[in-house]
Amino acid sequence: MINRIKGILAAVENFQPKNIEEIEEFRLKYLSKKGLIPALFDDFRDVPVDQKKQIGAEINILKQKAIEKLNELKDSMSVTQEGKIDIDLTRPGDPIKIGSRHPLSIVRNEIIGIFTKLGFCVADGPEIEDDKHNFSLLNFPQNHPARDMQDTFFISPDMNVLLRTHTSSVQAHEMSELKPPIRSLSPGRVYRNEAISARAHCLFHQVEGLYVDKDVSFADMKQTLDYFAKEMFGEKTKTRLRPSYFPFTEPSAEMDVSCSLCGGKGCNVCKGTGWLEILGCGMVDPNVFIATGIDPKIYSGFAFGMGIERITMLKYGIKDLRLFFENDIRFLNQFTAAI
Ligand code: DAH
């Protein structure tokens, strides 16, 4: 019996197939039900008791080696066999998972789309700013309490270099570097030193708009922003302006849209008021014109700024701001249908 086992083992180890058919013959000869190895197990019954342990072990080793050999041969043959590729070229390809846009990008692009129809151009600005563009040119005097409205991340110890707290810094660049007419839209990241919660984050996104030309009026601003709101939230959307304060605009206002969830009747999203605040706006303050070298006697303009997270949350009914930054595929997958 031992010799039989050793003979089969040697044959298994030395076996060299020439093609795939021979590998199948190998399997049939040694491992199939009627093959030589199962036959050994059948004959094992007649082995004297004192030899069972040793012979049993030898048969098991043989079986294991034969299986390993078969797998190795299959692996090596599946790639090439005498120059032939053994893969099914008619099989459909593995689908490549195509990602989708982030909801914030979708809404940012939508905002850009609406304003470019009105002739606004996209303008970029740095995220690492100096005090001048983030504050001074925008009529935030040194030590003015309005600076406390925005919890700033300062980079340099002299507090001159900082992470921009709003995209209004881009209007400071635009106005000091370009000549009117200016009609620009500046989307981008902004940073504030705030505790992260469902409603606040240290990083978020804004879009800033600026329109400077001769004879630009408050009515132009109102009309532009009303058009935007209707395009963004639906034709039935109503808007209202409430007086507010921003150092760089005078007069300043905040714009509310009628709550699209309850249609203005009052619900828990609009806290029963029927209105949702979506942006800040106002006529460019003459001090900003003077600081940036534009003559306020010739030119006037309006500016507005909105948070992209806020617009997205209102549009899609998202209740927690942190979802935007977690990259949870279950959240992001829900936006695959959107452009
Ligand atoms: N920069 C303001 C903020 O971050 C938003 C803003 C308000 C921008 C009024 C404007 C504006 O251009 O006119 O809160």
Ligand 1 pocket test, pick from 191, 304, 306 with the greatest ligand atom count within 8 Å of Cβ, gives 304
For residue 312, tell me if it sits in a domain.
yes
- The answer to whether residues 152 and 209 belong to one domain is yes
- The answer to whether residues 176 and 262 belong to one domain is yes
Q: Residue 160 C-alpha to ligand 1 middle, in angstroms?
A: 21
- The answer to whether residues 204 and 297 belong to one domain is yes
Q: Which pTM was predicted?
A: 0.73
What is the number of other CB atoms lying within 10 angstroms of the CB of residue 122? 13
CB of 249 sitting under 6 A from ligand 1: yes
Residue 208 CA: nearest ligand 1 atom is 12
Nearest to 298 by CA among 201, 134, 156, 181: 181
- The answer to whether residues 37 and 150 belong to one domain is no
For residue 84, tell me if it sits in a domain.
no
- The answer to whether residues 234 and 303 belong to one domain is yes
- The answer to whether residues 57 and 160 belong to one domain is no
Residue 281 CA: nearest ligand 1 atom is 13
CB of 306 sitting under 6 A from ligand 1: no
Last residue within a domain, chosen from 60, 75, 90: 75
Please answer whether residues 31 and 25 qualify as being in contact, where contact means their C-beta atoms are separated by less than 8 angstroms.
Answer: no
- The answer to whether residues 203 and 308 belong to one domain is yes
CB proximity list for 26: less than 8 A, separation 6 or greater: 15, 17, 69, 70, 73
Q: Residue 260 C-alpha to ligand 1 middle, in angstroms?
A: 23
H helices then E strands: how many in the chain?
A: 11, 11
Q: Residue 248 C-alpha to ligand 1 middle, in angstroms?
A: 8
- The answer to whether residues 202 and 115 belong to one domain is yes
- The answer to whether residues 70 and 107 belong to one domain is no
Residues of the chain with pLDDT under 70: 78-86, 146, 149, 337-339
For residue 90, tell me if it sits in a domain.
no
CB of 188 sitting under 6 A from ligand 1: no
- The answer to whether residues 218 and 268 belong to one domain is yes
pLDDT value at residue 90: 86
Nearest to 162 by CA among 123, 190, 194: 190
pLDDT value at residue 19: 81
CB of 166 sitting under 6 A from ligand 1: yes
- The separation between CA 149 and the C-alpha centre of its own chain, rounded to angstroms, equals 29
Distance CA 22, CA 305 (A): 75
Q: At what angle do helices 49-79 and 20-30 cross, to 10 degrees?
A: 170
pLDDT value at residue 338: 54
CB of 258 sitting under 6 A from ligand 1: no
- The answer to whether residues 304 and 202 belong to one domain is yes
pLDDT value at residue 83: 55
Q: Ligand 1, atom 13: nearest CA belongs to which residue?
A: 281
pLDDT value at residue 132: 95
Distance CA 261, CA 279 (A): 18
Last residue within a domain, chosen from 36, 57, 75: 75
Range of the domain at 29: 2-75
- The answer to whether residues 169 and 47 belong to one domain is no
Alpha-carbon torsion, ordered 7, 10, 12, 17, to 10 deg: -120
Distance CA 201, CA 190 (A): 10
pLDDT value at residue 106: 94
Number of domains in the chain: 2
Q: Residue 323 C-alpha to ligand 1 middle, in angstroms?
A: 24
Distance CA 37, CA 12 (A): 11
Segment holding 209, helix H or strand E: strand 203-213
pLDDT value at residue 138: 96
